[in-house]
Each structure stands twice: as structure tokens, then as C-alpha cells.
Amino acid sequence: MSQPRPFSRLLGSLLLAAAATLSCAVAADADDAAEPAAARAHPVRPLGQIVPAPASVLPGGPPYTLTPQTTIQVDASPGVRAVGEYLAGVLRPSTGYALPVTEARGPGGIRLRLRSAERELGDEGYRLQSSRDALTLTARGPAGLFRAIQTLRQQLPAAVEMDTRQPGPWQVAGGTITDTPRYGHRGAMLDVSRHFFTVDQVKRYVDQLALYKINKLHLHLSDDQGWRIAVDSWPLLATYGGSTQVGGGPGGYYTKAQYKEILRYAAARHMEVVPEIDMPGHTNAALASYAELNCSGIAPPLYTGTSVGFSSLCVPKAITYDFIDDVIREVAALTPGKYLHIGGDEAHSTSHEDYVAFMDRAQATVARYGKTVIGWHQLTGATPAEGALAQYWGLDGTSPAEKAQVARAAQNGTRLILSPADRVYLDMKYTKDTPLGLAWAGYVEVQRSYDWDPAAYLPGAPASAIAGVEAPLWSETISSSDHIEYMAFPRLPGVAELGWSPASTHDWEKYKVRLAAQGPRMEALGIDYYRSPQVSWPAG
């Protein structure tokens, strides 16, 4: 497939940055003179008409207009120039402007500034102030500025996302947006085990997630059908266990260098990668790679189907704990983020007693290597470690007893990531006619995915226990970037809004209007999204 958009933008950005300001101005004046009247007539997007909805919007005053003379003015603070260069990389191809990134102050620029005293903005909040004379983005740290840039992108016409020069004008409505996230965990999970996705495919998804202020990328790196991360102490996990996928394709795995490349790319977009090594079930790829991990001492064949619950590490064997120690140690050493996900779901071939014993030891191993445990909500049937997060993937119709077990853990201090399968599993079919996906959790149309409140979703769980939301995309039927995008969009923006926006902004009738306006932007980005009939998408 083609390289992700930022790669193609880089060359154009460097060439444009080298152009003289005077020649840019002359060329732009000529283009403006020839610009079609229809392009000039594009209305300015109302302030705050974006996804996710901002916390506070105070419209007023004339709009800010980008011109050939616009500069991107950055603080000398660490990390700010990188954010400014990212913004320039977004804007240069479509506007045709040089947009130099500079620490010099001047009139009419886009100003990126850090203000540590703005405590109310927190780690990711920002303030956007737009007027005729300047556009100022303020935050306490680079992450907040990066989130502000995503708002700025959406305030500009959708054509700003194009890789080729487009007619303006490029205007941002006047006024002030002050914005902070509702939850600190706003995630998307990509299953690279059932079907393998290349580094470039993952990067493409990262860029799409970043637009909607997602800050966690959960990579499901191991399952029955494939092991996707190199482990030096157990090399056959990747070379043999990673050699296939659902349907028997070639599979694949990430070398340590490739995994680090994904981490760096995500970090540049202020997104933390959460690696998952699923255990003690979902382990056939590991069991097939090393016979000694099986209680029988006999390795099963590689698996290319889609059934679940049939595999288990051998809990009584000492070598099992050598294995998890080595794997967790190596993955933790590669991963700068705080979390390591140990799965723990659908361990139907592990007795309850063995499951509890295994999860105790696995959690202790994660802690030994400096990470915080995340597990699927079945972890609450064991003893969650102090500080652990449980990721709930049940349904509206999950048994009251199972919901109560998770709620009790939340009452006792275990924080929850909410991923209800019949709401935010992006691999569920939209309708019976959806060509991709599964339907075991039901059909999940766009309104159903959006129309629920994380704080009130799980009976008995304190609102304060909700760490955030996450949208998993399992890949039994997903094997290409087009597949990812069709199933993720337009549901993913709604999940992002549940994680970011205040509960007071939650309104399907208003949201679907803002979502419809995302259609041209997704098209400009090359996202072949599902045109849900529940949304009045713009014609053409």
C-alpha cells in the first residue's frame, strides 16, 4: 500500500518551506484572482462545530484568515517546535503556503504557546483564540497543543486535508474555545493477531485516530492465530507462531525495531501504545511454537480458524512462568508507556483455581518490570492487583452477576475501561447487510454506538472508577486498511466524543449534524467510511 500521508507531505513541506516569501505571495495573489467564486463563498465553519464537541465555546468577532504571509510562531519550550512542524505539514500541501515555523514573533501568525500556570487545562486541555489579527493556541504542555491542532484542522474547510493545492479561503471563525477531556483514557484497540497489519497500516490508523483526540493505541499482539512481536529469548514465537493468520494467509510479525517505529510514530502524535500479550487462553500460537508450554508436552498445529476458548498455557508447569517472565520483560523494556495488557478473557480451558493462581503470578511479573496491569474484565474474577485496570467488554444483556462482580471490583479500587461489545466493538456489523464483521453482540449502528453514558453504564460502579472508553477492532474478518476504515468510521469519532466531551454536550440529534460535516473531511483523507442512513451526509 502507499505510504501514510505524513510521508508524502514531508517532501512537499520541505520544498515549500524553502520558497521565498515574496514569490509565494505573488503566486498566491495570482491564484486568488483566479479562484472560483464558489470557493470564495464557502461559509466559515461555526466555532466548535467539530468532533469531539469542545467543553466551552464562546463565538464572536471576525474570523482569522491564513495568508501567504502567515507564520507558525512557537515557544522555545521543548516539544513545541515538533508540534508546530506537524501543523505546518498538515497545512502546507493544501494551502500552498510556506508557513515557516519560527520562534520570532510577528503580526498575523498562528501562535503556539505553553503556559504552565493554566492549571485548569490539565495535561491535554487547550485554549484556542481566533481573531482577525492572530490565532493563538495555548496549553500547559505539547500534548495539549497537539489536541488544539486537531480542533484547528476541523475548523478549517475539509479540503485542508488534501495532498494537493486547493482553493481557499482558509478561515477560522472568531471566538474562544476552552477545552479539556472528560476521561484520561480514550483508546482504540487494533487486533493484529487474527490478521496481521504492517507498520505503515498501523501508522495510517494512528493518524486517523489522532484527528479525534484518541490518546491510547492498544495493540493485541498475540492470540491463537498469530504471535506478532519478536521475543529474543523465545524466537519461534514470531518466526513460527507468527507465520499464519485467519484463513491461512502468510501472517507476519514486528521486529523489535519495527515495534519501536510504531511507538515513535504514535508518541509524535501524543498517543501511548498499550501492548497486549493475551494469557492464559488465546495462546495457541505460543503453544504451537514450543511443545514444552503444553501440559502434554505435545505442540498443537498452528490454528487459522476463529473459535475461542480452547487453548491454555499449562498453569502447573514452572517453565510457563519462565516464559511469561521473559516475554513481559522484553515487551516492557521496549515500551515506554505505563501499561501492559495481559488479556485474561475467554480462558475456558483453564480451571477457575488455575486461572486465579496464574493471574496472580502474571500480575506480579508485570509489576516487577515497572508496568501497570490492564486485563479484560474477567480479571475481576481473580484478584486485581493494586492499581490494575479492568477492561469491560460485556453487553447490555450480560448477566447481573457478572456485572456485579465488575462493579464490586470498581468499588474496591479497580478502575474500569469501558468497551461494551454491543456498543463500541468496531468489528460488529452495522446491519445484517454489512459485508464485513461479526454479529454475536448484535448489530451496532452509529446511533447505538454513540448513545450511552460511560458514567452511568455499569450498575453499581462508581462514576469515579471509570478511567475512560476504548473501541476495539477485532480482525477475524478484517484484512486491509479499507476494511479497518469502513468498520471504524463513522463509529470511532462517536466513541472519541464519549471519552473527551462533557456529558452535558451529549445529544444524538446535535451530534449527527456535526458528524455529517465530517463526511467531506473523511473523504479528503481517503477514508471509505460507512454512509449510515441515520446521518444526513452532504451530497457529493
Candidate list 35, 261, 292, 346, residue with the active-site label: 346
Beta pairing partners, 73: 102, 111
Distance CA 121, CA 479 (A): 40
Q: Which residues contact 367 (CB under 8 A, 6 or more apart)?
A: 373, 385
Report how far Cα 360 is from the mean position of its chain's Cα atoms. 29
Residue 100 DSSP label = -
- In a structure prediction context, what are the per-residue pLDDT tens digits for the chain, which is 540 residues long? 334 444 444 444 444 444 433 333 433 444 444 444 444 546 899 999 999 999 999 999 999 999 999 999 999 988 999 999 999 999 999 999 999 999 999 888 999 999 999 999 999 999 999 999 999 999 999 999 999 999 999 999 999 999 999 999 999 999 999 999 999 999 999 999 999 999 999 999 999 999 999 999 999 999 999 999 999 999 999 999 999 999 999 999 999 999 999 999 999 999 999 999 999 999 999 999 999 999 999 999 999 999 999 999 999 999 999 999 999 999 999 999 999 999 999 999 999 999 999 999 999 999 999 999 999 999 999 999 999 999 999 999 999 999 999 999 999 999 999 999 999 999 999 999 999 999 999 999 999 999 999 999 999 999 999 999 999 999 999 999 999 999 999 999 999 999 999 999 999 999 999 999 999 999 999 999 999 999 999 986
Of 362, 369, 341, 179, which Cα lies nearest the Cα of 280? 362
Does residue 445 have an active-site annotation? no
Handedness of CA 496, 499, 500, 501 (dihedral sign): positive
**Residue 513 backbone class (left: φ over 0; alpha: ψ -120 to 50; beta: rest):** alpha
